[in-house]
Amino acid sequence: MATHTNCESITRRDCLQFGLGGMLGGGLANLLHAQAIARDSSQRDATAKRCILIWMDGGPTHYEMFDPKPGAPQEIRGEFGAIQTTIAGVHFSEKMEQLSKLTDKCSVIRSIRHNQGNHGAGNHYMMTGAPPRIPVGCGAFVSFHPSMGSVVSYQHDQRHPQSPMPGYFSLPRMSRSGGPNFLGAKYAPFVVPDDPNSSGFTVRDVTVPSGIDDKQFQSRSGLRSRLDNLPRLNDKTSGDPAAAIQQYYEQGYDLVMSAEAQIAFDISRESDKIRDRYQRDSFGQRCLLARRLVEADVPFVTVYDGGWDHHRDIFTALKPRLPSWDQTVAALIEDLGERGMLEETLVLALGEFGRTPKVNSRGGRDHWSNAMSVLIAGGGTPGGLVVGATDRNGYSAVDNVKSPENFVSTVYAKLGINPDQMLYTPTGRPTHLVSDPTPIQELMG
């Protein structure tokens, strides 16, 4: 298949990932005024200033994590037992030993369900609060609506336009539907693919190349600006992709020259004790790096954690993985609490759906969007809560059922963003931020 590249060597695929496809039309003359009105009504009292989203791509099992069914038949309950948490009568999987001791600091939603049972559609729904507009393939990477991270970054930029750090990071990659869509490339995540668990870890995009000092770098950056004579339409209504790419260049330059960025990415400043506590693996050290980024006032960080699509041999895969994952996430919550940051930092762990009730003939569980679990801590969230319930065998959410819209609205409301607002595309089309802007009241504190 041919790759379509424009004159600036930006591929069509790059444009789609950045969300530039939604920027290419001409805008309405009064769009900026409409956006200003929308921004004026967008703020609300925040209980959180920042968010760490642990995205468990593939669809983590609710049975083997936060909603075990020890009384169900063997083919449903699986191989793992259940352990008592600090909440009377509430059990987690036996592999969630550390988090079961922290339920006074976190809550679990057990009753989210939706109707998008493939990866592409489910990912989009849970990442944006908007179901796909058209049927999409299971492996699709689609963007019909801005992701939570991009919306938070956009709102942060309106309030703090001089912030030296991007408002949205994703480690080590962007999730399938984690882009900005019509908000534009500036609000795509700054992706850090480098592994902080490797020796000599550096982030290439925030480091001055070796052999060039700061003055030389500034000089060469200025030369690039003078040589770049591509005309730009800087009015936001024009949706000029060249201007958006220029914003990306400027953001990268600001990061290279930012003392805050250099400090945030220097994970070697952490003690061996702290690094060991998070686990010396890629996921553990990325969670530690996420903590350092929110400490530097980055409002939204996604830690992409793939490999949860266990269609076969689920128990073999999870026996070593879950205890390590449990230890890392517990360390993150405890560390934030010890630093006095947990009350202002929302921590989320979820994927696109749960897994099927019956273990299949290959020893795995398949996609299941009728039931899933979400872990939520910090950001003013009351601890010790279990929101909703599935039936006794975990087939479906049946009590206090919530939608992805309710979940995403909760995240926005906690971060001081009004989910009941209109956004406007560069073509002037009004779009609800969330079609059902009702937060989960139990979690609002």
Sign of the CA dihedral with 95 first, then 99, 104, and 107 last? negative
Reported as a single tens digit per residue, the pLDDT across 131-153 is 999 999 999 999 999 999 999 99
Q: Count of CB atoms within 10 A of residue 196's CB?
A: 25
Q: Identify the burial level of 137 via C-beta atoms within 10 angstroms of its C-beta, where 0-12 means exposed, 13-18 middle and 19 or more buried.
A: exposed
Element (H, E) at 434: none
pTM: 0.85
Please report how the helices 148-159 and 404-414 are oriented relative to each other, as an axis angle in degrees rounded to 10: 20
* The one-letter amino acid at 132: P
Does domain 12-443 bear CATH number 3.30.460?
no
- Pairing type for strands 300-305 and 168-171 reads parallel
Residue pair 126/407 in contact (Cβ under 8 Å)? The answer is yes
Beta bridge partners of 432: 422
Element (H, E) at 151: helix 148-159
Tell me the pLDDT of the chain (445 aa) as tens digits: 344 333 333 333 433 343 333 333 333 334 443 444 444 445 668 999 999 999 999 999 999 999 999 999 999 999 999 999 999 999 999 999 999 999 999 999 999 999 999 999 999 999 999 999 999 999 999 999 999 999 999 999 988 888 888 999 999 999 999 999 999 999 999 999 999 999 989 887 665 555 545 554 455 445 445 445 555 555 554 455 555 555 655 666 567 667 788 889 999 999 999 999 999 999 999 999 999 999 999 999 999 999 999 999 999 999 999 999 999 999 999 999 999 999 999 999 999 999 999 999 999 999 999 999 999 999 999 999 999 999 999 999 999 999 999 999 999 999 999 999 999 998 899 999 999 999 999 999 8
Domain boundaries, given as residue ranges, for the chain:
12-443
Pairs from 388-393 (Cβ < 8 Å, separation ≥ 24): 388/109, 388/110, 388/111, 388/112, 389/110, 389/111, 390/62, 390/67, 390/110, 390/111, 392/69, 392/71, 392/72, 393/69, 393/72, 393/73, 393/76, 393/357
User: What tokens were used for 313?
Assistant: 């041999």
Q: Report in angstroms the alpha-carbon separations of 178 from 95, 189, 195.
A: 29, 8, 20
User: What tokens were used for 383?
Assistant: 């601890």
Q: What is the pLDDT of residue 261?
A: 82
Which letter, b or e, does each residue of 66-83 get, where b requires 16 or more Cβ atoms within 10 Å of its Cβ? bbbbeebeeebbbebebb
Beta bridge partners of 84: 91
Beta bridge partners of 312: 363
* The one-letter amino acid at 178: G
| Alpha-helix residue ranges (DSSP H) falling in 257-309 | 259-265, 272-277, 282-295
Residue closest to 114 by CA, chosen among 359, 436, 443? 436
Beta bridge partners of 11: 5
Element (H, E) at 239: none
Per the document, the length of the chain is 445
Beta bridge partners of 322: none
Beta bridge partners of 346: 51
Cα separation, 357 vs 396, in Å, equals: 9
Residue pair 142/175 in contact (Cβ under 8 Å)? The answer is no
